[in-house]
Amino acid sequence: MTAARLPAAPLLAALLALALWEGLVRWARVPAVLLPSPGSVATSLWEAAPLLARHALATGGAATGAFLIALAAGVALASLMVLSPLATRLLYPNLLLFQLLPKVALGPLFVVWLGLGLPSLMAFAVFVSLFPVAIAMLTGLRAADPLQIRLCQAQGGSGWQIFRYIRLPTALPFLFAGAKVAATMAFTGAVVGEFISADAGLGWMVMQAVGRSDTPLIFAALAVLCVLGAALYALVVLAEDAARRRWGTRR
């Protein structure tokens, strides 16, 4: 079926790239410090597996938790802004302002505020992933067809019914688009937070490995990280598919 055919080409391309990489490293004798061969990365993965797993759990947990919080908070914020004009006036300009800030650069502040550890890491990850969700959701809620809203009003629909039956279904595809960005941003936030200061997590591990010039371990840790990030992204895509089947949303 098509499902079987679909990943075949990219998979083949990836395998080809790996083979090319291995061949290049061997043939040109690239020092492992610069570019370890896929083989040595695999060895590193295997040897450091327990350590990697522990730190992956820390980073993955923080990022996933932050993602879920950002999702809930973003949806709540956007809904509030649609339901209450006052909230819109108070929040919207600030939302736009924050959109222009280089948010990831604010990481060290969270350490100042919340100290080292999980709370500051997660707060930072929530902070960077909240905005894509809030803005996408707001755009979606506002994209509802005004004629449909009029129609609903004409039949005596309440504000809540309009929200539930017209705005929410329209917003769903936008929300998923925002959630995909947020999934990547949550991991970005968690890892950058660990770069800045941490005592655990894949980001911290990578920085330790950089200090020791242990390039195979850097690659191994980053590979784990990429897989984790892609997995969260894939979960969002799966949820989107399920939602589309369940509610038949467009796009």
**Number of other CB atoms surrounding residue 242 within 10 Å:** 10
Residue 148 CB, shortest distance to other proteins, in Å, is: 21
Long-range CB pairs of 217-222 (<8 Å, 24+ gap) are 217/44, 217/48, 219/36, 219/41, 219/44, 220/41, 220/44, 220/45, 220/48, 220/52, 221/52, 221/55
Cα Dmax for the chain: 76
Residue whose C-alpha is closest to residue 35's, from 18, 47, 58: 18
Residue 183 CB, shortest distance to other proteins, in Å, is: 8
The number of residues in the chain equals 251
Look up residue 165 and give its two tokens.
């039956």
- Each residue 103-142 as x (binds other proteins by CB under 8 A) or -, in order, gives -xxxxxx-xxx----------------------x--x---
Decide: is 14 part of the binding site for other proteins (CB under 8 A).
Answer: yes
Identify the residue among 39, 61, 118, 233 touching other proteins (CB under 8 A): 233
Which of the residues 210 through 229 are near other proteins (CB under 8 A)?
210, 213, 215, 218-219, 222, 225-226, 229
Q: Measured between alpha carbons, how far is 51 from 243 in angstroms, rounded to an integer?
A: 37
Rounded to the nearest 10 degrees, what angle do helices 168-196 and 107-114 cross at? 80
Residue 32 CB, shortest distance to other proteins, in Å, is: 11
Residue 197 CB, shortest distance to other proteins, in Å, is: 8
Q: What is the DSSP letter of 117?
A: S
- Helical H runs in 101-117? 107-114
Which of the residues 139 through 198 are near other proteins (CB under 8 A)?
139, 174, 177, 180, 184-185, 187-188, 191-192, 195-197
Q: What is the DSSP letter of 103?
A: G
For other proteins, the closer CB: 146 or 211: 211
Binding region for other proteins (CB under 8 A): 9-10, 13-14, 17, 33-34, 89-90, 93-94, 96-97, 100-102, 104-109, 111-113, 136, 139, 174, 177, 180, 184-185, 187-188, 191-192, 195-197, 202-203, 206-207, 209-210, 213, 215, 218-219, 222, 225-226, 229-230, 233-234
